[in-house]
Amino acid sequence: MENELVTISEMAKLHHLTRQTLIYYDHIGLLKPTFINDHGYRYYSVYQIPVLREICLLKKLGVKLEDIKKNIESRNLESVINLLELQKNVIDEQMKELNRTRMYLQKRINFYEDSKKTYKAETPLLKQIPQRQVLFVPFEERPGKNVLHLTLMKAWNKLFDSDTIPSCGFGTLIRYEQFYSEDLYENSGIFVVLPYPQPDLPGVEEIPGGTYLCMYKYSYPYEEKDFHYLKEWAEKNNYRITGDALDLCLLDTTFYNSEHNVDYCCLQIPVVKN
């Protein structure tokens, strides 16, 4: 019989496990030693090696120990196939989630890469910007730092509730009908650019693609003077404004340094040449 037994240390080493792992397997009833001597030393039969080998294989494939235990206790070809099919389905779902996370990461990388492009601050320029879909949440009062952050969190929480990660930037949306009124920010609010179309999400709006008069600036995404400066520049240079303005925040408070202690934004106004 001694020739058919191996010590717990030998069994563990053979399978690249620790003694503590085999002791745990014993405690949960997954793999119990064949023999325990008077001193409490555990011994395993060589015929248990295939069992532990299969346990290690299934664990490497990500199968939970409780499922391995059930399978080992009532093992047949059909039960093993079912177990592996279920685990493959789990992996497929994990891959889908990882691919979604990877997409969000790439969107965020792209957003910051665009922010690295150098433009002379306060100098208007024309850019072609594709159509965007945004989630809009109105301000409850005139925008300032506190209102901006509180409203933005309302928008972010709506996206989190819909299992969406806001990875493409945010800013202030100013309504076209207010451009010549005394209260520029009436009916304005926060917009968050969506990483992919979500037409059924409440509060979603389409921002048309086209030519935008843009100005990169170090200021907050709700500075009225910036809007009036760019609007007047458009009028002086024979451009007609055609829709809502977006003041997109590129680098927020988390990027403040000794040189700049305000946000870095891009004010965008859709225009056509008269």
Structure token digits, residue 192: 């968050």
Structure token digits, residue 244: 């809502």
pLDDT digits (tens, 9 = 90+) for 72-131: 999 999 999 999 999 999 999 999 999 999 999 999 999 999 888 777 777 899 999 999
Provide the residue range defining the domain that includes 61: 2-75
**Per-residue confidence band for 1, with pLDDT thresholds at 50, 70 and 90:** very low
* CB 246, CB 171: distance < 8 Å: yes
Quick check: helix, strand or coil at residue 216?
strand
pTM over 0.85: no
Task: Decide if 152 is inside a domain.
Answer: yes
* Residues 65 and 159 both lie in one domain: no
d(CA 201, CA 15): 52
pLDDT digits (tens, 9 = 90+) for 169-206: 999 999 999 999 999 999 999 999 999 999 899 999 99
CA dihedral 120, 114, 177, 145 (to 10 degrees): -80
Rounded to 5 degrees, what angle do the CA atoms 203, 108, 151 make? Answer: 35
Task: Decide if 125 is inside a domain.
Answer: yes
Domains: count for the chain: 2
* Residues 265 and 191 both lie in one domain: yes
Question: Alpha-carbon Rg of the chain, whole angstroms?
Answer: 31
d(CA 173, CA 267): 10
Residue 49 sits in a domain whose CATH number is 1.10.1660.10
Task: Decide if 89 is inside a domain.
Answer: no
d(CA 178, CA 184): 5
Domain boundary among 19, 45, 75: 75
